[in-house]
Amino acid sequence: MSFEGKLALVTGGGRGIGRAIALKLASQGADIVVNFFRRREAAEQTAEDIRALGVKAEVIRANVGDPAKVDEMFDTIGNKFGRLDILINNAASGVGRSVMDIDVKAWDWTMDINARACLLCAQRAARLMEGRGGKIVSLSSLGSFLVWPTYAIVGVSKGALETLTRYLAIELAPRGICVNAVAASFVETEALKFYFTEGLNQDNIPTTPAGRRVTPEDVANVVAFLCSEEAFMIRGQTIIIDGGSSICSPLFSFKKND
Amino acid sequence: MTVEEQIREIIARITHVDKSLITREATFKDIKADSLDIVQTLVAVEEAFGIEIPDEEAQKFQNFGDFVSYVEGRVVQKERV
Ligand SMILES: NC(=O)c1ccc[n+]([C@@H]2O[C@H](COP(=O)([O-])OP(=O)(O)OC[C@H]3O[C@@H](n4cnc5c(N)ncnc54)[C@H](OP(=O)(O)O)[C@@H]3O)[C@@H](O)[C@H]2O)c1
């Protein structure tokens, strides 16, 4: 797999899983646009680490939940590079609440960032991919399918993202654009710590048949594969990255593999 | 309107808290603002004053007074540039 000469935009690429994806694509030769929202220092650090790999990195601040900011970000990319090869819709936000506590403000905030932004970014990205094709990979979560405590709004937004992925995959196929998603179970990041304090109990996490928790790098590896030509015939799919936990019946018991 | 009054207006609009409760000593916790209220307040203040308030800075604010002082400082800096 080589992404030499390719330009990738990773939304929320400054830290967490987005950072791991940005570094993975960069390590295979892609130039990276690191989008961030609140954490400039983290984004600048990631850009520095990307440049150390011998490729270009650009940092762009934009709240992807704000359509005007999405437009500004793509205008900047268009003016500076005139093209885009890979879009990673990774940015996500949300409020840990059960369904009865969800209000309009929390719903709109989460849906705007986690679902609508994927549409708006894909629309703008598709134009920058005109005539050259491209890859779009969005980050879903197993919580779109499994019911996790206090995860309701985020889960719903990820359901929308997965359906959007299928529509984009078919409608953008004639333009040579491959669109897919990945859905991880719990990944070791700050977001996970947030959900543990907001209601998820660490002890409730079922043992993973694969013997350990998913890491940001595990996710980045699958995303990189979906961005490669080797994945050309995979379209509109959501690939589950969970070490087997979601299909494993509680009747099985696992010895930890350490 | 002063910077302080403008920020107080923004917080009151987003959190639906009475302005009289937003004193310089008040914290977001005192006015029962959740994480979404806080980030929306930061974004609204950034837009109102044309500045950037990274989370790394916002986390240092102990109370409303610190928040106001930071924004005042940034506004002065911006005018100098
Ligand atoms: N962690 C998990 O267990 C897990 C499991 C399954 C799926 N996922 C998915 O994987 C993706 C990355 O998750 P993560 O755990 O790395 O998340 P995270 O640690 O919470 O980081 C969120 C990232 O999104 C960015 N972001 C948030 N709101 C944004 C906005 N409005 N505009 C632009 N950027 C924004 C943040 O940027 P700033 O820091 O600059 O604000 C940050 O880079 C998400 O889509 C998440 O739903 C995570």
CA distance A78 to A184: 31
Question: B61 contacts in A (CB within 8 Å)?
Answer: none
What are the residue boundaries of the structural domains of chain B, listed by start?
A: 3-80
pLDDT tens across the length of chain A (258 residues): 799 999 999 999 999 999 999 999 999 999 999 999 999 999 999 999 999 999 999 999 999 999 999 999 999 999 999 999 999 999 999 999 999 999 999 999 999 999 999 999 999 999 999 999 999 999 999 999 999 999 999 999 999 999 999 999 999 999 999 999 999 999 988 777 776 666 666 665 667 899 888 999 999 999 999 999 999 999 999 999 999 999 998 888 765 544
The beta-carbon neighbor of B36 closest among A40, A41, A106 is A106
**A41–B40 C-beta distance less than 8 A:** no
Is the CB–ligand 1 distance for residue A187 below 6 Å?
A: yes
Residue of minimum CA distance from atom 31 in ligand 1: A63
* Positive or negative torsion for Cα A62, A67, A68, A71: positive
CATH of region A7-242:
3.40.50.720
CATH architecture type of domain B3-80: Orthogonal Bundle (1.10)
Does ligand 1 have an atom closer than 6 angstroms to the CB of A18?
A: yes
Give the gap in angstroms from C-alpha B1 to the nearest C-alpha of chain A.
Answer: 27
Mark yes or no for CB contact A109/B43 under 8 Å: no
Give contacts of A39 with chain B, Cβ < 8 Å. 54-56
CA distance A2 to A5: 9
Give the DSSP H/E element, type plus range, for residue B66: helix B64-80
Q: Contacts from A47-55 at CB under 8 Å and sequence distance 24+?
A: A49/A23, A50/A22, A50/A23, A50/A26, A53/A23, A53/A26, A53/A27, A55/A26, A55/A29, A55/A30, A55/A31
Kind plus residue range of the DSSP H or E element containing B35:
helix B35-49
ipTM: 0.90
Check pocket membership of A93 for ligand 1, CB cut-off 6 A.
yes
What tens digit of pLDDT does each residue of B26-71 get? 999 999 999 999 999 999 999 999 999 999 899 999 999 999 999 9
Map out the domains of chain A as residue ranges.
7-242
